[in-house]
Structure 1
Amino acid sequence: MKKNFFFSLLLILGFTKIHSQGSDTTNEKIDTKKLFKELTDQACSCIDSIPTYDRIKDSITANISSCIDDKVGAYQLAEKFTSIDLSNPTDEKKEIKITMNFDKNSKEYKDIYYKMEKYLMDNCSVLKDKVAANNLVNNNSMSSNKKALDYYNSAIDETKKENYKGAIEYYKKAVKIDPNFAFAYDNMGICYRRLEQYDLALESYEKSLKIDPNGLMPLQNIAVVYSYKKEYKNAVKTYEKIAKIEPNNPEVFYGIGQIYALHLNDNEKGLDNMCKAYNLYVEQKSPYRTDAEKIIQMIYADMKKNGKEEKFNEILKVNHLNSN
């Protein structure tokens, strides 16, 4: 929807101006590159404040999207101001017409949103942590035993310091007190994985699954560990198990697509799955859309080199995407 806003020059002059490098004081203008960074950094701080404990992914990604949306309009407005000469105003009450497009489906809005999203994926480390969070609590996810929780929290502190061996020792103490402490096994597995002790990581995840057979966190991590171990068919089977529990989980299609394209030399299956992941990421407003897009571009380059550009476009069409 198009909305027209009328701003007096007095208001414009009161707008926070950022001096562009090399500009003199008589011709101030908004430095859109600097403003873009400031706005996306603010979005990153907003994302950092989003709680993830015991929340479904859709709710978390909706909050992330809101943090970005909040900055798109401000940047869009700044871009409009750059086309206005603010130097030496002759009439402080002069009205300037600025047309803004706040339709989130418009190309103008999407271009800015995706530009910010990409910057955040590359520069805001907390973003991936929030998207990857899988802390939905089930009956045995957390312990009700205070001592077990104390050990668990100490393990979390050691993990933050990247002392994975120390964290594992605390997790072991926690599960010794409470053998049904699923999150402790999950995080223990992550620590083993970071130490590249993959068999012990799998063992930890399997213990978590015995407590909660539908635990998404251990299943997703098992698929990742199988990929590290180069047991790609086992990784695909694990993703397929996740699909039975959560059929609209884009991580399933992304994981399978990546394995087929990068490791099993099957670009067609890889592309089909990656397109499905991309569509779900877009639908769920997940910033991981940018990662799927990169893999699709990589597959395109390989298929084009091998004379399969027509097949590439055919698969995109089936998934309601275009190659532009």
Structure 2
Amino acid sequence: MKKTFLLFVILSFFNANSQTLEEKIAAKACSCLEKSKEINEEIYRNCLTNSMAEVVLKDKDAKVREGINTVEGIKSLLQKSDETIAKTCSKFLPKAAEDKSDIYYSDSKNKEAQNSYTVAKDFMLAKNYKLAIEGLQLALKQDPNFVLALDDIAVCYRQLEDYDNAIKYYKKSLDIYPEGEYALMNIGVVYSLKSDYKTAIEYYEKLIKYQPNNAEGYFGAGKNYLQINNDEKALNDIFIAHRIYSADKSEYTKDTEMLMGAIYQKMVKENKEDIFKKIAAENNIAIE
């Protein structure tokens, strides 16, 4: 009887201590979520990220902390913990919200506005941007919150090299839909064309915040960091963009490879080759 009891205690101790990192995080996050009367996406994310920080900081194994020293490491652990929560306490998962992009990047419910927009798009395809602007202005008069029309009128002004008006309409689009990827990407491009690299970076950083798996945010930010001679930040962002493009089998990997090569040559001349290799290693990029 004593042997059986002792074996049970030993096994219990072993099982308690053989929890994976994501299981420990999930257990703490579930406990956090249980205390909330109503669970939304923000509360869920706070419980998950706070639990992860607490578990990792308390872990005595230095390798655990090293594992989240990169963006990729953090994302991987968050994903695993998220999946574990779904298995262990799925009742605490927030209800899936309707995809905002489907709401805002859609046709206008105002038929007249939609008709004007359709005509304007034909003018855009014909590269008659001035007439397209007139049609889009009419669409916006009929539906002032028509995000697609706001984005496209900004595109027309950009094609006409009227960058101030392009920015004006991208900002109007973002006032309605702050997470709008098209406006965030393209306003960054326009600020770059105006040589306002720091402001361009601000918008690309917003895109990264809202869409951390979108390579365009990192790629755009990286190019602009390069313009202000912040080579280390540029390199880190370009590496992240390269990994995402590679995973998606995108042709843009050629662009990131070209930029990585240019940054490497620059850093070698400045005796920073070791820093280049260190950032590459942190991003799991093999340098031959």
TM-score (norm 2): 0.62
1: CA distance between counterparts of 2:128 and 2:169? Answer: 18
Q: Distance in 1 between matches of 2:128 and 2:187?
A: 22
Alignment-derived partner of residue 243 in structure 2:
279
Equivalent position to 2:188, from 218, 223, 228: 223
Distance in 1 of aligned mates of 2:275 and 2:178: 39
The residue number in structure 1 matching 2:136 is 171
* Cα distance in 2 between the residues matched to 1:319 and 1:139: 34
Which digits, 9 at most, give the CA deviation of each residue in 1:149-177, with x for residues without a partner? Answer: 22111111111111111111110011111
Do the aligned partners of 2:101 and 2:180 also contact (CA within 8 Å) in 1? no
Distance change >3 Å, CA 140–CA 294, structure 1 → 2: closer
- Per the TM alignment, residue 139 of structure 1 is displaced from its structure 2 partner at its CA by 4.4
Matching residue of 1:213? 178
The 10-residue stretch of structure 1 (163-172 or 283-292) with the greater mean CA deviation from structure 2: 283-292
1:138 matched to 2:103? The reply is yes
CA contact (8 A) 2:117 2:139 kept: yes
SS of the aligned residue for 2:284 comes to: coil
Say whether 1:264 aligns with 2:228.
Answer: yes
- State the Cα RMSD in Å: 1.7
Q: 2:265, 2:209 → 1: CA distance?
A: 32
What is the rounded CA distance, in whole Å, between the counterparts of 2:190 and 2:141 in structure 1?
Answer: 24
- Higher relative contact order (Cα pairs below 8 Å, separated by 6+ residues): 1
Q: Is the 8 A contact 1:140 1:180 kept in 2?
A: no
Q: Which runs of 5+ in 1 are unaligned?
A: 1-134
**Corresponding residue of 1:147:** 112
Instruction: Tell whether the 8 Å contact from 2:174 to 2:183 is kept in structure 1 after alignment.
Output: yes
State whether residues 185 and 207 of structure 1, in contact with CA within 8 Å, keep that contact through their aligned partners in structure 2: yes
Distance 1:162 1:139, change over 3 A: closer
Give the share of equivalent positions with the same residue, in percent.
42
Retained in 2: the 8 A contact 1:254–1:277? yes
**Secondary structure at the residue paired with 2:102?**
coil
Matched, 1:157 2:122: yes
Mapped contact 1:140–1:212 kept (Cα < 8 A): no
TM-score by length of 1: 0.55
Partner of 1:137, secondary structure, is helix
CA contact (8 A) 1:140 1:211 kept: no
What residue identity is the alignment partner of 2:145?
Answer: N
Q: Which amino acid aligns with 1:247?
A: P
| Equivalent runs, 1:4-19 vs 2, <5 Å | none
The structure carrying a bigger helix percent of its residues is 2
Matched, 1:323 2:278: no
Contact 1:164 1:191 in 2 (8 A): yes
More strand by share: 1
* 1:180 paired to 2:145: yes
Matched residues in 2 for 1:235 and 1:258: separation? 10
